[in-house]
Amino acid sequence: MLSYRHAFHAGNHADVLKHAIVVQLLQYLGKKDKAYWYIDTHAGAGAYALREGYATKNAEFDTGIGKLWGRSDLPPMLSDYVDEVAALNPDGNLRFYPGSPYLAWRLMREQDRMRLFELHSTEIDVLRHRFHDAGRRVMIYAGDGFDGIKPLLPPPPRRALVLIDPSYEDKRDYSRTIKCVEDGLQRFATGTYAVWYPQVTRPESQRFPEQLKRLQDKNWLHVSLSVKRPPHDGFGLFGSGMFIVNPPYTLVAALKETMPWLVRTLGEDDGAQFKLESRGD
């Protein structure tokens, strides 16, 4: 929705899960010389200040990246992710947090391209400023990414990561996300589609993973991280999940190593847990 500002939540436990996986997906795509595209349906502002403005209201980054910062015992997957956050904080102080577009920009090579969609008028102005000198490597579209990505698929190199992570403040985002992946697979069956979703008590969220599984019989991965028990009053985020269609074969092993560590480190009560399931070719 147009009122949503991701800066309030930047760097929280949900961002840790999402962005650690995004880094792994992009690193895998970058192992081959052939170009790839990164396509983001809800790009946001690209990066966020943590010590001023919106992020300070609830300081949600303290529940996420703040608990990883400065640790020397990070699993390799989280070490890769924290290294990318550190690149935005070269003095060693955690003051800025990279959104998905910034992470993608850091990991892109000269031959790769980025296509970003954002509806919020203020957010897109910030996004355009961040990439004003990127040339045609980065194209930014003011509009709805659900529909906007259709003309981009399949991308010219036939290799791409499509990230779909709306706010889900509008419950129609769940059905629109499913339709977006379904349409995407019809146009570009071999693309990697990464869907983030919140764990909340809303029924649309509870049934969402099972609906995503029905989009493709095989070659998918689902991981979720709950940091606490669902709230008694039914309000608030208690975890999040990522569903990846056509994931790299390396991701399951990386998550098996990483998720128990995240539960121990980010867990807030005895409801902290993770779920990992996959179906290969």
Structural domain includes residue 83: yes
Domain count, the chain: 1
**Residue-level pLDDT at 3:** 40
Q: Which domain CATH number covers 253?
A: 3.40.50.150
Structural domain includes residue 176: yes
Name residues whose C-beta falls within 8 Å of residue 206's C-beta, 6 or more positions apart in sequence.
none
Q: Which of 15, 40, 165, 173 is catalytic?
A: 165
Structural domain includes residue 1: no
Structural domain includes residue 189: yes
Structural domain includes residue 164: yes
* C-alpha count within 13 angstroms, C-beta hemisphere, residue 111: 12
Domain limits for position 267: 6-279
Q: How far apart are CA 189 and CA 274, in angstroms?
A: 29
Q: What one-letter code names the amino acid at 201?
A: T
Structural domain includes residue 235: yes
Structural domain includes residue 24: yes
**Residue-level pLDDT at 126:** 92
* C-alpha count within 13 angstroms, C-beta hemisphere, residue 187: 19
Structural domain includes residue 117: yes
Q: What is the pLDDT along the chain (281 residues), one digit of tens a residue?
A: 434 456 778 999 999 999 999 999 999 999 999 999 999 999 999 999 998 765 566 779 999 999 999 999 999 999 999 999 999 999 999 999 999 999 999 999 999 999 999 998 888 999 999 999 888 899 999 998 999 999 999 999 999 999 999 999 999 999 999 999 999 999 999 999 999 999 999 999 999 999 999 999 999 999 999 999 999 887 889 999 999 999 999 999 999 999 999 999 999 999 999 999 999 87
Q: Is 170 a catalytic residue?
A: no
**Residue-level pLDDT at 33:** 97
**Residue-level pLDDT at 237:** 93
